[in-house]
Structures are given as C-alpha cells and as structure tokens.
C-alpha cells in the first residue's frame, strides 16, 4: 500500500521522509482509528485514507515542526475515522428506517431469498436500475450525490430506486426464488 502513497510524491527525499513517517506512525494511527470504529477493516480503511490525504498534502506537512507531526497525523486519522463512523451509522439507519415518501418494499421478503439468485436477478435488471441500486445500497451514496453523478434530478433517482425495488421484487416472486 505504501507504494501507492509514494507514487503521489515527487522527489526521492519526499519519498524517504514519507516512508519514515509511515513506518513510525501507522500503528498509533491504527490504534486511534480502531478505538473509534471498533472494526478492523474500517480502521485499516481510515488509516489508508488518512495516509493518502497526507501524501496528497505532503508539501504542507513537510513544513510542520517535528514535535507537531504526530498530533497532526492523529487528527487526520481521527477525523477520517469519524467520517467513516458517521457514514456507517447513516447506512445502518437507511436500512432500518422507512422513508415516508418512498413506497416500502417488504424487507423480510428479500431476507428469504437465496443470495446468489438475488445477485443474478439484480444483474439482469436494466442498467438504469442496476446502477442506482449499486450506488445507493452498496457504495452508500446519498440520492443527491447520485443525482449529480448521473446528471439527473433527485426525484428521478428516487423514482429509479423505487422502480428498481418493485421490479426486483416482482422478478423474484415470478421466478419463485424463495429458499
């Protein structure tokens, strides 16, 4: 992973300095991230994201006095971890809350479906529906973000998600894919 960070840097001196800082602070940054996220994978993601931020802003970081570098790194990984925590929390809420302006699809229905058949049915959906389901439920983008990415209105994204869930349910019911 360090090679990705090093590829962002220009000079050999920067690469050497970055590598030294990486080796010196990665474990303490991981400890901070894990204490916030309580999840190994998320903590690793937070540390990787923090180091990518550090590599992208290395010109500024080189000018920080030595005794302030560790607190600076801790702040970066802490903020990154909090962002991941909030995103995870928001995703969890999205699956537990039903929005009043959306047609609800019985979640228990999808829990009874064989996973491989569900994935196959999703892959057979038209591309416009498959894309919004993937961006919203797998990647975790907000409707507004998907709207900007696809260059369509927020209402169009909501309607596509609604139609995709209805179509998915009807395809699964028609195919009698219950376990």
pLDDT tens-digit map of 35-52: 999 999 999 999 999 888
pLDDT tens-digit map of 94-107: 655 444 444 444 55
Query: 81: domain CATH number?
Result: 1.10.1740
Kindly tell me if the per-residue pLDDT of 60 is higher than 70: yes
Residue 119 lies in a domain: yes
Long-range contacts of 141-144 (CB under 8 A, 24+ apart): none
Question: Given this model, what pLDDT does residue 30 score?
Answer: 94
Question: Given this model, what pLDDT does residue 111 score?
Answer: 57
Residue 179 lies in a domain: no
Domain boundary among 43, 75, 96: 96
Q: What number is the average pLDDT over the span 128-144?
A: 80
pLDDT tens-digit map of 63-90: 778 888 888 888 889 888 988 988 888 7
- Does the global pTM surpass 0.75? no
Question: Given this model, what pLDDT does residue 177 score?
Answer: 39
pLDDT tens-digit map of 145-165: 888 777 788 899 899 999 988
Same domain, 87 and 112: no
The closest of 176, 175, 160, 171 to 103, measured between CA atoms, is 160
Residue 37 lies in a domain: yes
Domain count along the chain:
2
Residues found in the chain: 179
> How many Å apart are CA 120 and CA 156, to the nearest integer?
25
Structural domain containing residue 92: 2-96
Domain boundary among 59, 77, 96: 96
Question: Rounded to a whole number, what is the largest CA-CA distance in the chain?
Answer: 66
């Amino acid at each position: 992973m360090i090679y990705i960070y090093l590829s962002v840097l220009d000079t050999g001196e920067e690469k050497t300095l970055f590598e030294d800082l990486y080796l010196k602070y990665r474990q303490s940054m991981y400890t901070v991230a894990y204490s916030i996220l309580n999840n190994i994978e998320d903590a690793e993601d937070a540390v990787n994201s923090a180091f990518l931020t550090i590599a992208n802003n290395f010109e500024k970081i080189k000018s920080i006095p030595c005794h302030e570098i560790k607190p600076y790194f801790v702040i970066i990984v802490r903020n990154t971890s909090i962002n991941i925590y909030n995103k995870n929390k928001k995703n969890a809420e999205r699956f537990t809350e039903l929005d009043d302006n959306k047609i609800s699809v019985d979640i228990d229905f999808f829990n009874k479906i064989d996973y491989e058949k569900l994935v196959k049915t999703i892959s057979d959906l038209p591309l416009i529906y498959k894309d919004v389901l993937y961006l919203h439920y797998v990647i975790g983008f907000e409707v507004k973000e998907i709207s900007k990415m696809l260059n369509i209105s927020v209402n169009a994204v909501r309607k596509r998600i609604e139609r995709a869930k209805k179509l998915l349910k009807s395809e699964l019911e028609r195919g009698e894919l219950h376990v």
